[in-house]
Amino acid sequence: MKSFDVPIIYRSPLISAIKRKRKEEDRLKKDFSPTLLDFGPVQIFLSRHFGFCYGVENAIEIAFRTIEENPGKRIFLLSEMIHNPHVNSDLKAHGVKFLQDTFGRQLIPFEEVNANDIVLIPAFGTTLEIEKILNQMGIHTELYDTTCPFVEKVWNRSQAIAKKDYSIIIHGKPQHEETRATFSHASLNAPSVVVKDMNQAIELSKYITGEKDPALFYEEFRQQYSEDFDISKHLQRIGVVNQTTMLASDTQAIADFLKNVMIKKYNLNAGTIEKHFADTRDTLCYATNDNQTAVSVMLQTSADLAIVVGGYNSSNTSHLVELCEAYFPTYFINDETKIISANEIHHYNFHAREELITSNFLPDKEKISILMTSGASCPDALVEGVIEKIINLFPAKKSIGELINLFSK
């Protein structure tokens, strides 16, 4: 896989040594067991896969190269490059201005941008409508487009099944940048509707089976369906794609559920299923799959708690938290500064969207075990920072340097 030129400030000597060692020992990525970092009084089990994915590194490389190659030019980002506050702050510090916030609200009017400016498209992609506005202004978005290739894969798959007269069901968070972009591309080619979870998929199925009054659909799924969506005919042939950062198991469960609904409604068998349901399982992102699988395996390890590092508005990170908190006390933090002391941690509850303060989060034991991972938009340097902050809470320990030497052998 291609390697990217990512700023050194995002790299970690420790994490780089660990990832290099694991790759040498497991080139086919079949071993999803965590890596043990034994610091004596504290053991940290680090997830096999975590941190920057291909799409994120690609976006960061393009962004910083654009800054370097265009001194004196005004550079804008359509919205957050990725969902990590440290990376976005660094871009702002380099003079990059954001046109919209993460929800698509305008921060700087498009009218203030001119053809001499540069506009970067974030890793999530953008809608066709926004792209058209920028292109009509003379902005060459194709030159500075950091859209993740795996997001584009979903768009291409949507287009392919649309050509076969399937409607598109998108599993995603309706207000997320990537979902908005995928919805825009999908609805250009086919009737499309967004479902945010299994509960909405179940409600949608009742329109397929005729259990619910069709007229109710337009209010229940308001702002989640494409223009001229006809509930009476546009759910007869469907395919499911996803926002690539969702839980892969959730997307698969929704697809399997809707597939079974179609089988029962139309009395289908293995040979006729494609008459009403398209196979779209190949739209699941490899990094999302790897990170989530690695966490699932890590959760089989005996531990006292779990720490997940990443941006609080990061969808893929929140799903890693969701997996962990089903088994262990889990603390979602964006960097080491949230660990105040052995007695206090500030962490994010993504369900309630608020930061909490927990006292005595570390158990009073002679030896403590912690599971740790991070989101696909989280720099490895932040993970090393959290590790160092934790081990410094204990008097007797091995150093980060000793571990780097161990994994460099």
- Within a domain: residue 366? yes
Residues 116, 216 within the same domain: no
Residues 155 and 135 in one domain: no
194 and 269 co-located in one domain: yes
Which DSSP letter does residue 122 get?
Answer: P
- Active-site residue set: 178
Interatomic CA distance for residues 289 and 332, integer angstroms: 20
Considering the domain architecture, whether residues 274 and 165 belong to the same structural domain is answered as yes
**Domain check: are 270 and 226 in the same one?**
yes
Edge-to-edge strand list for the sheet holding 118-120: 97-98, 75-77, 118-120
* 292 and 278 fall within a common domain: no
Residue 213 lies in a domain: yes
pLDDT, one tens digit per residue, over 18-58 is: 999 999 999 999 999 999 999 999 999 999 999 999 999 99
Question: 201 is in which domain, residue-wise?
Answer: 151-283
Considering the domain architecture, whether residues 249 and 192 belong to the same structural domain is answered as yes
pTM over 0.95: no
CATH number of the domain encompassing residue 312: 3.40.1010.20
Q: How confident is the model at residue 1 (pLDDT cuts 50, 70, 90)?
A: low
The pLDDT tens digits for 179-238 are 999 999 999 999 999 999 999 999 999 999 999 999 999 999 999 999 999 999 999 999
The H-assigned helical ranges of 284-353 are 286-298, 315-325
- Asked whether 15 and 380 are in contact (CB, 8 A), the reply is yes
Distance from C-alpha of 388 to C-alpha of 378, rounded to nearest angstrom:
16
Task: Read off the tokens for 193.
Answer: 């509707």
Residue 253 in domain:
yes
Residue 93 near residue 119 (C-beta atoms within 8 A): no
Residue 58 lies in a domain: no
260 and 236 in a single domain? The answer is: yes
Q: What is the pLDDT of residues 146-165, one digit of tens each?
A: 999 999 999 999 999 999 99
Same-domain status, 306 and 388: yes
Look at residue 245 and tell me whether its pLDDT is greater than 90.
no
Q: Count the domains in the chain.
A: 3
Q: Of 283, 310, 342, at which residue does a domain stop?
A: 283
3-state secondary structure of 278: strand
Q: Is residue 3 part of a domain?
A: no
- Verify that 271 and 182 share a domain, yes or no: yes
Same domain, 171 and 183: yes
pLDDT one-digit tens code per residue, 370-387: 999 999 999 999 999 999
Pairing of strands 344-349, 354-359: antiparallel
The verdict on 223 and 253 lying in the same domain is: yes
Q: Is the four-CA dihedral 363, 336, 9, 78 of positive or negative sign? A: positive
Residue 89 C-alpha from the chain's centroid: 19
